[in-house]
Amino acid sequence: MLPEQIEELQRQYTDKHVVVDPTRPELARFRHMNGRIKTINMNGRALVQFDGDNNRGWYDIELEFLKVVEKPPEPTEKKPAPRPG
């Protein structure tokens, strides 16, 4: 890929929210997770960080196996119930 093509992909996909193609066996562990594209690397693949399991790793995934989705709602923090008394 040409550097200009990579730059265009970076502009188009960086910070987009995605889900993986659930039919791909190598992506099965991410099936029920939302991810966010951090950047597109120089080989045209997305570096994706998923929101599950306190996961901070970035995973190198082909764009054709990702689907852009709306930003998921922020998790609401549950406040402990007040103690009687």
- Give per-residue pLDDT as tens, 4-23: 999 999 999 999 999 999 99
Q: Which fold has domain 3-69?
A: SH3 type barrels. (2.30.30)
Burial label, 34 (beta-carbon count in 10 A; 0-12, 13-18, 19+): middle
Q: What's the predicted TM-score (pTM) here?
A: 0.80
Delimit the domains of the chain by residue range.
3-69
pLDDT at 78 over 90: no
Q: What is the pLDDT at residue 71?
A: 86
Query: 35-73, pLDDT tens digit by residue?
Result: 999 999 999 999 999 987 677 889 999 999 999 999 877
Q: What is the pLDDT at residue 38?
A: 97
Burial label, 61 (beta-carbon count in 10 A; 0-12, 13-18, 19+): buried
Phi/psi for 6 (5° steps) reads -65, -45
Which residue from 56, 59, 10 is spatially nearest to 30, judged by alpha carbons? Answer: 59
